[in-house]
Structure formats: C-alpha cells, structure tokens
C-alpha cells in the first residue's frame, strides 16, 4: 500500500537560514508527488509537484524539491526562509484505485525564529 | 490553479442536529471532488470521493449514512453530517481534482465543525 512518512513533526529554524523538510514514500511505481503548505485559517496551497522528467522541481515562494528514486524521497528545500514561511507542510503521493486519491504524510510544523 | 470555496467557514451546532457544508469550484467545472477530515495537529484523512451525477465513493471506515455527499452540479458538492455528535467535531476540507492525468488537487479553506 502507498504511504508517506514525514519524519520530523516539528522543525525550528532561524529566519534567513536554509531549510530541508524530509519526505519518504512507499509506492510500487513512479509516484506522483506533491508538497502542500497549510497556514492557519487557510486552505492547503500547492507548492510544487513531480510526475516525470527533471528530478529537481521548482515551486512557488522559492521552494524546490528533489525526487530521489533510490532513496524513495522527495525532500523540500529552501535556501533562505522568511518569517512568513511558518506553517504546516504536507507531503503527498498520488494513489490510484480507479480514481485519483492523495495519501498525505503526517505533516511538519515549521517555526521560524526571528 | 482552481479556486475553491467552502461555506460555512465554521459552524457550531447541538448534538443530534445535521449540518451541511458546501464546497464550490469557482472557476473550474469539477467532475470529481474529494472530502477530507483533519483532526487537530494531524494529517488529512480522505473520507470520500464525490463524483458529479453519481454516488460518492467512501473510504473504508467512513459511514456513508452519517456523512451524506451530494455532487449535483459541476461546481458544487455538499457534505451533510447527520445527527452530529461531539466526536464529529473536526476540520472538514474539500478539494477539486484539477488535472486527472497527474492527480492534481486544489483545496478549499476548510470548515471547522464544533458539536456541543
């Protein structure tokens, strides 16, 4: 069965520091992978997605993620975080059983220190 | 991306009453929508897949008679929590399937349900 693991429940970084959020997946074929961000009072916003081609994908707000098949990972990175990046981040994998479904990881809460 | 709205954004009701939550796709005709449930500090759990013009498909363990889903048009899906109880209190989120080829979904802002 497909599954997604985000090993870090909570991460704190200083403003201006680099960021990497980890995501590991279990899926039998080439996965469709997504990163979403959820801010308080707002819906999930799609940061980036991977479904084929270049394994380094660029997203909005300066985020990027790299798909590594050998490690079953899709880690999210940002070279310099801003206070506005504080939010909950979810990794998700597409799962298909006749209809498209998403399986989400547990989420990583990002706190930014000034 | 698709613009998705939900109404109401929050609702408080008494135990035993029914509550209807609307999910609207404002700029895209959505044949497929999804309903998720999110408990505090937890991830999203898929409840059901809503298909326009047909019955919804529920995930294992989700009571279809408890959570009634209607997708009567390409822009509106509704979730009705029937005879709500305190354990139904949660954050309910809908999404629109925007690109079927890659399973790309766009999400509504969510509805906070509190059952007293």
Q: Identify the helix (H) or strand (E) that includes residue B104.
A: strand B104-107
Residues B25-51 have pLDDT tens digits of 998 888 899 999 998 888 899 999 998
A58 vs chain B: nearest CA distance in angstroms?
16
Q: Note the pLDDT tens digit of each residue in A20-46.
A: 999 999 877 778 899 999 988 778 999
pLDDT tens-digit profile of A42-86? 789 999 999 888 899 999 999 999 999 999 999 999 999 999 999
Give me the half-sphere count of Cα atoms (radius 13 Å) on the Cβ side of residue B28: 19
Question: For B9-18, what is the mean pLDDT?
Answer: 96
d(CA B12, CA A7): 34
Contact assignment for A101 to B34 by CB distance below 8 Å: yes
Determine, for residues A43 and B32 on separate chains, whether the beta-carbon distance falls below 8 Å.
Answer: no
Residue B52 has pLDDT above 70, yes or no: yes
With a CB-CB cutoff of 8 Å, which residues 86-105 of chain A face chain B? 90, 94, 96, 99-105
Please answer yes or no on whether A34 and B4 come within 8 Å at the CB atom.
no
Given CB atoms, is A45 within the 8 Å cutoff of chain B?
yes
Residue with the bigger pLDDT between B2 and B87: it is B87
């Amino acid at each position: 069965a497909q599954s997604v693991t985000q090993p870090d429940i909570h991460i704190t970084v200083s403003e201006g520091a680099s960021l990497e959020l980890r995501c590991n997946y279990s899926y039998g074929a080439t996965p469709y992978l997504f990163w979403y961000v959820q801010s308080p009072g707002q819906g999930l916003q799609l940061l980036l997605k991977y479904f084929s081609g270049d394994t380094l994908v660029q997203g909005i707000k300066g985020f990027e993620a790299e798909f590594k098949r050998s490690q079953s990972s899709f880690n999210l990175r940002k070279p310099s975080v801003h206070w506005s990046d504080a939010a909950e981040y979810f990794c998700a994998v597409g799962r298909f059983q006749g209809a498209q479904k998403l399986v989400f990881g547990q989420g990583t809460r990002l706190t930014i220190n000034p | 991306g698709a613009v998705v709205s939900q109404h109401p954004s929050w609702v408080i009701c008494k135990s035993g009453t029914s509550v209807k939550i609307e999910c609207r796709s404002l700029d895209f005709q959505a044949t497929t929508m999804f309903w998720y449930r999110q408990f505090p500090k937890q991830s999203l759990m898929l409840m059901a897949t809503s298909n326009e013009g047909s019955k919804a498909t529920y995930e294992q363990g989700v009571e279809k008679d408890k959570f009634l889903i209607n997708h009567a048009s390409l822009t509106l899906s509704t979730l009705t929590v029937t005879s709500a109880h305190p354990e139904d209190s949660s954050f309910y989120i809908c999404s629109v399937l925007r690109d079927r080829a890659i399973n790309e979904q766009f999400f509504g802002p969510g509805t906070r349900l509190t059952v007293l």
